[in-house]
Structure 1
Amino acid sequence: MRFLWILFAFVTLHSSLFAFVITSETKILITQKSEPMQKAAQELHKYLSKITGRSLPPVSSDTLEKRGIVFLRRDTPFAQHLPFAEKLSSLKEDGFMIVSTPEYLYLTATNDRALFYALYRLLEKYAKCRFLSADYETVPKHFRLDLGTFEEKREPRFEYRELFFQESDDPVFARKMGLNGRLGHRIEKNPMHLDIDAFNRFSPFALFGPERSCGGQIDFSDPAIRKEAARRIEEIAAGLPVKEGDLFLLEHEDIDSYCTKGIPKGESPSFAFAGYGRYIATRIDPRYRKNPLLLQAYQWSLKPPRKVEKFPENLGVIFSPIGMDFARSIDEKPNRRYFDALLGWRAFSENLYIWHYGINFAGYLQPYPDLYALDHDIKRFSQIPQIKGLFIQGDYESFGADLADLRVWVFAKLLWDPSHDIDELIKTFCKAYYGPASDEVVDYIRYLHRYLKETKEALLVKTSADMRYLDPQFLDFAESLLQKGLQKTSKDSPFYEHTLSLFAGIDYIRLLKAPAGEKRARSIKRLMAFLDRRNVTHFAEGASTQILRQLARVPEKKAPPPPQAKGLAKGVDWLEFQEYALQLCCAEIVADAAAGNGRSAKMPGNISEWGFQLSTLNLPKGVWDVYADVKITLKPKTSLLKKAKFALFYGIYPQSKGGMLIAQFTPGRYRSIKIGTLDTNTQTKAIWLRPPENESVEGVYLDRIYLIRKKYLPGV
């Protein structure tokens, strides 16, 4: 026994001599008197104090005579004389090296923000900390932290990495995740201005106002407009906290229409817009030439011009495939035209950025099985050298979206290193975040994705709650899985709350479309408690959770079939889409005793957005007559002359459109409107209705859209 103790002491002493060990004598050495390095050293001190129970305050050091943890930037004299200086010099921006020797632990970085990436990597990989969300992390206790000797070199695949989720809005947590982008309102939350700011204040109406409108945009081919736009962009930029490397987003208005002036016959709609971007890039003040301008490729401008003319070096492209089927990867057959358009932009610029989507904007809480498709897309983008950055838009307005904490953690790991296996990432996160319930949560995620695949449905950027993959069978089985996991956790542990929050997606769907009964009542009670606990403010883009609270108080009733459907089989010869099944923009769901199910979607009459939409992508094949039940309300004292104006516009995009006058309605009463005839074998995209932009119309209310089968398509 004595021999074993002597052997243990020898091995311990031997390892201490030839490996770096953090003890009470260890110093954190700051080699530069810069705020970022001092902050990074203080952050490391905070965590090492928690881990070891020892205080290791940072000290400034002009020499490396003291044994310790050394923070270095590669542009310092110290770094240039290190044995690994050549490897350090070859790193891309945001790269870092962690090198452990018997005397020193080097945290060496290419820039200030990479100092933080290095220290969080040290804590996560070698000290076994877990940074899982902005409000939950685990920090283990180690009496002795023996790191051994090693050398690790890391650099990100993408130069720009941003997850536009509320869960990653906190700049400290974003840095722990290795993210570095700050778009729009996030620019104000950029401590020490370490991150890359993306300024998006240069849309046509921001520059000129709507009075210069042409096709809902501006005339991008007009030389006078181009010259004036370049001047105004410089004026706006002069008032912004712009630093070298920040991005300028050159966007058009967010509507799917464009000005046709200056576009040759047979050319892509993006032709004039690309010329506009090229002009501004070559004329902008030289002080902004190191701030890449990113030309938006989105909606009508998605496809590049046919005539290839290389962009100036400071002009890139930000590609936004908003119309994709997000259940499938971008290079799969249904999405191939988006991928081909992306590849086409390579001929114009070496600097391509992707604006992707990672949540359902028609229902943040709704289960949205896109994880594997998005994983494939990130990996595919990483194989295209011209793609420099990736921005993924999520629940930017509110906390609490479907699997939001998992999404942020998993996507952040993939943005840094796309070679990660997503299944392993999901399992790692679930084990740390859901604890004893992790197996059931992993099973739930797999079941959700498998169930969608079996239905062969598409996921849109605004996906209806009225999808087959969200049927009662799925909801019941998913609830049983999560309930099994919840029963394994202690109510006093954070795992219980994390697991309980996953029920919100099931409960949200039941609130919207389940019949009255015990299940719906249980789901409503649980959902309301979740909204309170997590301070959820929005359940969809632009839609306050106050709407859900109001719906919870509205008794559910079954809508009678319309007269046109008499004697027809529902789901076969006629289809019904209530307000929850629509893509709503600038609209709210309200209690409405006159509506068939006691609820309707409402929009104010003084706007013109296509606020009520039904995608045709998932509709059964056939030829259908399309109807809507609509009512309007008027402001007091509306004259006969004003009643001769329009109350409503509608259509089937892009093939037909129409409208109705105020005089054709009895205010406050629903009437059926025939929108048109839809052949799902043609290239239609959506059924739409919109208000008239008329101050006399107080509100436009939509009860439902319904389709009556006119005939079957041959062979279907």
Structure 2
Amino acid sequence: MRGSRCTLILLVAAFSWSGSAWGQQPGRPTSTQLVLVENGRSPFQIVRADDAPERTLLAASELQAFLKQVTSVELPIVSDTVPMGQHEIVIGRNAHLDRLPATVDFASLGPQGFVIRTVGGHLVIAGGADLGNLYGVYTFLEDYVGCRWYTSEASRIPSRPALMIGQIDDTQVPAFAWRRTSYRDIASQGSPIAMRLKLNGGGDWGLWCHSFFSVVPPEEYFQTHPEYFSLVDGRRVRDKQLCLTNPDVIQLVIHRLREMTAKEPHLPYWSISQMDWAGNCECPNCRAADDREGTPMGSLLEFVNTIAAQFPDKIITTLAYQYSRKPPRTLKALPNVGIQLCTLELNRSQSFATDGRAESVSFREEIGRWAAISRIIVIWDYTIQFANLVSPFPNLRVLKPNLQHLASHRVMGVYSQANREIGGEFAELRGYLLAKLMWDPDQDASMVMDDFLDGYYGLAGRPIRRYIDRMHDALERSGADLKIFGGPTDHRNGYLAPELIVQYDRLFDEAERLAADDPTFAARVQVARMPLMYAKLRLNAGDVDSRLREADRLFEIAERQGLEMFNEWDLTTAKFKQEVYDKLRAEQAK
């Protein structure tokens, strides 16, 4: 979340719909402004430590490269061994920063936080650690120069021959130390777009989830040691879970984990967690632990604590998921045990921070109890409809209040499970909005969304915003649940009612007209329209001829986009296409 922030607006322009701007047209500099570039020249140099680590070196080169794109002037990068100049952009801790009258509380910044501050004729961008320096540079370029990176292929870099900045005192520390979503374009930790959006989670886990059978494979052990596996309804079952109170299982997991961590010692997180189905062990010892704690998490947390005690330099995580979500009565997680708390069952039409439905009330109670007994909590949230990846899913308004609620409970990290395939409804918008809100959930989500729609769709973003608002309003009026295993037919009398579909089509007709002169914007608008087209086919909206035309266009756009899946599991584009045309041609033949 943001700390103190006091600025005079940059004299660069990045326009928004309301007519306000991130900057203004260049004018005469005042005594409180630093002139970074004017008349094709700059008095500034970029300074970094002579022994700067990798990401600080990247921070300096990225700043140099993007300022050159903006102004056509390349600022030199120098080490802190050169004499100090009158005008410098100082990156990170170095000898020149030490000579400035600028006190930076590095300890309070943590490894990712940073300070952006003007000090006399100098601009300081200093992070608590190497990564903070890079995040500080990207934030300066975004908030004070007007650069935008919407996706890996869509950015907006302003062009300004004169670049002046006012007084800045901006301290930022992320609300969540670990941030990840699985939208394909931004899922890869360390990719340029993930770094620019300040997403840092993903590649730091040795085992991610559902890992019991990775450490105790049933194909290797069940035949000879069925007692290693769950007792369910009086018999040992191969394909459920492990027997968590069996001492041989505990020792086997410790042995396997030692082998795994030795091969990848740099990875801090290792998940020892239940498989993705029911069937927890009901043997007398497991049942006794569960009865004592009032939840199957009793035997699970005892098991994970025992393993984690053998790996004090690692964070051993486990899922609080479905049958294990409820926290135990008396047990506490060891300091190096992380809880991956999942929101699978929750309604998405309202924020779980305020929703009165029983499952949301239970979740609020449970997260409070988990926060009291666990130092490390990673929330596993969902912004996906598993059975309908390409379908309208109006959940954008709940993202901010949900993340604010999580931040208030000391949650360490957030993973938003999203569509891992190409495409999906507003995948680019959701990924961008989530990245911004995971860093600072208190910022204006509506402004972030407008900025994205403007930059990504051009003028067509205006009717698309009205489409988004109209659909969200209709969902709220209906009072219906929005579920991650639902689909269009659940809302045929709500936000997908026939009269609303007519309105949505008109808005997209307008958006396509506004984008018609720009092939890039036009293609993006067509992709944004696909979920509405998909819903109309699922709802049998219109006569058979109109649905055939809808199908023709949907699958033409899908092919151009490279879309391969219409659900999470087995509905390929080819399979869905065959189903649609078989159904429509059968109707035609009647």
Q: TM-score by structure 1 length? A: 0.70
Aligned to 1:384: 409
Aligned to 2:136: 118
CA–CA distance in 2 between the matches of 1:558 and 1:471?
A: 25
CA–CA distance in 2 between the matches of 1:363 and 1:32?
A: 53
Q: Does 1:553 align with 2:581?
A: yes
Aligned to 1:495: 521
Cα deviation, residue 450, structure 1: 1.9
CA–CA distance in 1 between the matches of 2:171 and 2:371?
A: 30
- C-alpha deviations, 1:582-632, integer Å up to 9, x for none? xxxxxxxxxxxxxxx99xxxxxxxxxxxxxxxxxxxxxxxxxxxxxxxxxx
8 Å contact kept, 1:20–1:101: no
- C-alpha deviations, 1:54-91, integer Å up to 9, x for none? 233423331451355445334x5554554333434422
8 Å contact kept, 2:36–2:43: no
8 Å contact kept, 2:348–2:481: yes
One-letter amino acid of the counterpart of residue 333, structure 2? F
Per the alignment, do residues 40 and 278 of structure 1 end up closer, same or farther by CA in structure 2, a change over 3 Å counting?
Answer: same
Q: Does 1:127 align with 2:151?
A: no
CA–CA distance in 1 between the matches of 2:245 and 2:336?
A: 20
Within the candidate set 238, 253, 267, 1:229 is matched to 253
Per the alignment, do residues 223 and 414 of structure 1 end up closer, same or farther by CA in structure 2, a change over 3 Å counting?
Answer: same
Per the alignment, do residues 156 and 484 of structure 1 end up closer, same or farther by CA in structure 2, a change over 3 Å counting?
Answer: same
Superposed CA RMSD in Å reads 2.5
Per the alignment, do residues 328 and 202 of structure 1 end up closer, same or farther by CA in structure 2, a change over 3 Å counting?
Answer: closer
8 Å contact kept, 1:315–1:349: yes
Aligned to 1:300: 323
Instruction: Report how many residues are paired.
Output: 528
| Corresponding residue SS for 2:584 | coil
CA–CA distance in 2 between the matches of 1:517 and 1:125?
A: 50
- Between structure 1 and structure 2, the one with the greater Rg is 1
Aligned to 2:454: 431
Give 1:199-348 correspondences, 5 Å limit: 199-200=207-208, 203-210=211-218, 211=222, 212-214=228-230, 215=232, 216-240=240-264, 242-243=266-267, 246-261=268-283, 262-264=286-288, 265=291, 267-284=294-311, 289-306=312-329, 308-331=330-353, 332-334=355-357, 335-348=360-373
Per the alignment, do residues 435 and 150 of structure 1 end up closer, same or farther by CA in structure 2, a change over 3 Å counting?
Answer: same
CA–CA distance in 2 between the matches of 1:558 and 1:532?
A: 24
Aligned to 1:163: 181
More strand by share: 1
CA–CA distance in 2 between the matches of 1:133 and 1:141?
A: 20
8 Å contact kept, 1:181–1:198: no
Within the candidate set 461, 475, 481, 1:458 is matched to 481
Per the alignment, do residues 459 and 291 of structure 1 end up closer, same or farther by CA in structure 2, a change over 3 Å counting?
Answer: same
Aligned to 1:42: 61
Per the alignment, do residues 59 and 532 of structure 1 end up closer, same or farther by CA in structure 2, a change over 3 Å counting?
Answer: farther
8 Å contact kept, 2:206–2:264: no
Aligned to 1:606: none
CA–CA distance in 2 between the matches of 1:82 and 1:88?
A: 15
Cα deviation, residue 552, structure 1: 4.1
Cα deviation, residue 372, structure 1: 1.5
CA–CA distance in 2 between the matches of 1:319 and 1:201?
A: 12
8 Å contact kept, 1:160–1:388: yes
- C-alpha deviations, 1:528-565, integer Å up to 9, x for none? 12212322222221232222232343242789xxxxxx
| Corresponding residue SS for 1:390 | strand
Per the alignment, do residues 229 and 471 of structure 1 end up closer, same or farther by CA in structure 2, a change over 3 Å counting?
Answer: same
Per the alignment, do residues 495 and 13 of structure 1 end up closer, same or farther by CA in structure 2, a change over 3 Å counting?
Answer: closer
| Corresponding residue SS for 1:48 | helix
8 Å contact kept, 1:21–1:148: no
Within the candidate set 201, 208, 219, 1:181 is matched to 201
Ranges in structure 1 where 5+ consecutive residues have no aligned partner: 1-10, 188-195, 560-596, 599-716
Per the alignment, do residues 241 and 487 of structure 1 end up closer, same or farther by CA in structure 2, a change over 3 Å counting?
Answer: farther
Aligned to 1:19: 34
| Deviating 4+ runs (over 6 angstroms) | none
Cα deviation, residue 163, structure 1: 1.4
Within the candidate set 540, 544, 555, 1:528 is matched to 555
Cα deviation, residue 180, structure 1: 0.9
Per the alignment, do residues 493 and 121 of structure 1 end up closer, same or farther by CA in structure 2, a change over 3 Å counting?
Answer: farther
Ranges in structure 2 where 5+ consecutive residues have no aligned partner: 1-26, 223-227, 233-239
8 Å contact kept, 2:320–2:339: yes
Q: TM-score by structure 2 length? A: 0.84
Within the candidate set 461, 478, 483, 2:504 is matched to 478
Q: Which moved more, 1:52-61 or 1:127-136?
A: 52-61
| Corresponding residue SS for 1:556 | helix
Per the alignment, do residues 499 and 67 of structure 1 end up closer, same or farther by CA in structure 2, a change over 3 Å counting?
Answer: farther
| Corresponding residue SS for 1:554 | helix
CA–CA distance in 2 between the matches of 1:32 and 1:250?
A: 42
CA–CA distance in 2 between the matches of 1:486 and 1:178?
A: 32
Aligned to 1:618: none
Per the alignment, do residues 376 and 519 of structure 1 end up closer, same or farther by CA in structure 2, a change over 3 Å counting?
Answer: farther
Cα deviation, residue 416, structure 1: 0.9
Per the alignment, do residues 14 and 333 of structure 1 end up closer, same or farther by CA in structure 2, a change over 3 Å counting?
Answer: closer
CA–CA distance in 2 between the matches of 1:336 and 1:202?
A: 26
8 Å contact kept, 2:404–2:442: yes
Aligned to 2:418: 394
Cα deviation, residue 316, structure 1: 2.2
8 Å contact kept, 1:71–1:115: no
Q: Does 1:356 align with 2:356?
A: no
| Corresponding residue SS for 2:489 | coil
| Corresponding residue SS for 2:81 | coil
| Corresponding residue SS for 1:330 | coil
Per the alignment, do residues 229 and 518 of structure 1 end up closer, same or farther by CA in structure 2, a change over 3 Å counting?
Answer: same
Percent identity between the two aligned chains: 23
- C-alpha deviations, 1:119-142, integer Å up to 9, x for none? 111111111112111110111111
Structure number with greater CO (CA < 8 Å, separation at least 6) is: 2
